[in-house]
Structure 1
Amino acid sequence: MTDRIIAMLDKGGSVCRERWTRAAARGVPHNGKTGAPYRGANVLLLWEAAIEEGYASNVWLTYRQAQSLGAQVRKGERGVLCAHFERRARERRGEADEALSEGSVDEEAVTPDAGARAGVLLCLPFWLFNVAQIDGLPLEVVDMGLAAPMESTRAPVERALRLLGGCNATIRHGFDQAAYLPALDEIRLPWPRQFTSAEGQCATALHELVHWTGHPGRLNRSFGRRFGDATYAFEELVAELGSAFVMGHCGLVDATVEGHAAYIDAWLRVLRGDRTAIFTAARLAEEAFAFIVAREMPALAESASGEGA
């Protein structure tokens, strides 16, 4: 799975960001039988597969789940390999496999001492098929993937501003490049007129907002000595994934994070040196995304025509 993520990044940072953001705009992949969303690195893999194959739906099922619904995966179709991490005693693996077949696919952090703390850390593989690969599905399962993921048709810039306003981060303008300064707990941006578009300004601000979530007073994101000199680059990977989730949520599918250095080479070194790093990065990005979206300001209801202030 790490090799597949590396292959995605080898296409270039701008390519990955655009692909993941466009996929995020269609919603988080979820299970067609249980309705549960998929988590962590599995989201990236399912998004990439949907884009590569041109699937219109973000609904997925295991082979057994499709059969249980009276449907059949077409002959010759290939599933997407995903991973489920679970801490439990080794002798209960059979129970874990049974639960997995029912679509329990929550991911947890992978840490070097996890097994010592809670017995054995199992990495259980499972394969998913998109509804486009399955014949005979009930109409209600097919329709799950056709519902519009956006709760409104409001402009992407408006949605981004509602996220930024809801988080109430300290944002200062007038600097030559975008950055988040943890010591001052503030986001610094160039003047709005220096951005090529309002969408680019919002995308850049949202990227820095993901960094902002890692402050000790919020999610307290820290990596100890795990990544050594690559710690900064790893945090940038978390922000890259997190901002793709957030930009997709807003519908900023064509926006670019402006004035941002490329960290592709550093990310590739981290992932090749630590085969579980992508699972940690995806989990932390998902936590940052949830933190930001939970604070989204509500949309103002349209005033009745002629109503006084």
Structure 2
Amino acid sequence: MQASLFVGSHLRRDLLILLALAALGLLVPHLLNRGLIFIAGMVWINAVFGLSFNLLFGTSGVLSFGQAMFYAAGAYATAVLTQQLDWPLVPSLLIAAITGGLLAGCIGFVALRRSEGVYFSILTLAFAELVHLLVANTGFLGKNDGLSALPRPRFSMGGWEWDLSRGDTFYYVIVLVSVALIALLRWVTGTGFGRALQAIRQDPERAEFLGIPVQKYRWMVFTLAGAITAAAGSLVAPWAQIVTPDLAHWSQSTNPILYTLLGGSTYFWGPVLGAVALSAVFYVTRTLVGLSDLVTGLLLLLVVLALPGGMLGVLSRWTARSRNAPQKTQEPRP
């Protein structure tokens, strides 16, 4: 009974946080200029990217170095559907997510059966580089030049059609879709499936002994994370209006890892905070060639060496100390 109340209180808290973030996100176009609005849209997309990775790493203990291939799969699927087939928004997003899920399902079926641990991580990196090479050498995907001048897709419902290229309309779409994906991820972590994944992360052998199908659940969460990552990538194509093979490069796979480690992998909102922090770093150092990479490397070293719990871990320890401090001062001296 107490455990269910505890889970319920955390779910309500996270729902309130998500609603507050959504309200703040919807106010951005009224507060910032066009350049910062674009960055804010990318922060929402990167937050979903980081959270989908942490569903693998933080929740189930599966470390993948190849999430960029699903991100690129979603982006290219949306680019092809909207530019070459003139599809509206909703079918494009759904097909992009399904594409990423199918790709993740196929790769996970092979990789998880053949390897685990660091060998699985290296295998996902190899698959990602294979996808990168295929994209860079495929004619209708633009090869190394990619696809540019992508149109903002249309939104159709019940005979009504909206042009998402006007003003900040598509930014609002990014916020709403990202909020829905974040809510989905939070719901998954609170289900019995999510709790089984946490048991697998803590002790796979004991979880298997208790009747949890470890391999099946790892494959399922890998497929789900790939689909949600592709859904996040599908928003990049019409937002940036260009996709290139760099989206599938191995360096792109390091971004969600950095978001997660910087914010805190043991906290649901850790990747969101990490995405905001790194986006701020990239914006401040955007005019200094090479400095952003140096700062990113230094931040990673700082997190690994001095802040193993990430920024939220530090905040949690500070909060715990502040709560215990008054109790210590009230204790009588011997």
TM-score bracket, normalised by the shorter chain, equals under 0.3
With normalisation by structure 2, the TM-score equals: 0.23
Q: If the length of structure 1 is used for normalisation, what is the TM-score?
A: 0.25
- Structure having the higher strand fraction is 1
Q: Is the helix fraction higher in 1 or 2? A: 2
Q: RCO higher in 1 or 2 (8 Å CA, sep ≥ 6)?
A: 2
